[in-house]
Amino acid sequence: MNKYEDGKVTVRQHNNNVKVGHPNLTDLTDDQRTFAFYQHYNADNNGFYWSSDSAGTSWVKSPTVAYADYGDEAVRFEDLVGAGTPPLVWN
């Protein structure tokens, strides 16, 4: 595997591990998984984007994760490119 595929597997496994301790926690949506993957990939495996809320029933953006903005920015750029309006920094 390569870093891209390894990162996807790592994020998926981490979230499955969190769910073991929180049986009422929902599965990540595809969109949530995308944010998590971009953050993890760009942060060089430094933390995870999502954590369980205090009730253990839903995912919240981890307040302490390093480079969470990477996930946010990568998805924003992807959306802009998909809409045919890439960010100005791409010129």
Q: Which pLDDT tens digit goes with each residue over 16-65?
A: 999 999 999 988 898 888 888 888 877 766 678 888 999 999 999 887 76
Entry pTM: 0.75
Range of the domain at 16: 3-90
Q: What's the total number of domains in the chain?
A: 1
Q: Per-residue pLDDT for 1 more than 60?
A: no
Rounded Cα gap, residues 1 and 66, in angstroms = 24
Residues in the chain: 91
User: Residue 70: pLDDT above 60?
Assistant: yes
Q: What is the mean pLDDT of residues 51-80?
A: 84
Among the listed ranges 1-15, 24-38, 74-88, which one has the minimum average pLDDT value? 1-15
Count Cβ atoms below 10 Å from residue 87 Cβ, excluding itself.
Answer: 11
CA proximity to 30, closest of 22, 42, 20, 38: 38
User: Coil, helix or strand for 63?
Assistant: coil
- Answer whether 8's CB lies under 8 Å from 15's CB: no
Q: Are the CB atoms for 38 and 74 separated by under 8 Å?
A: yes
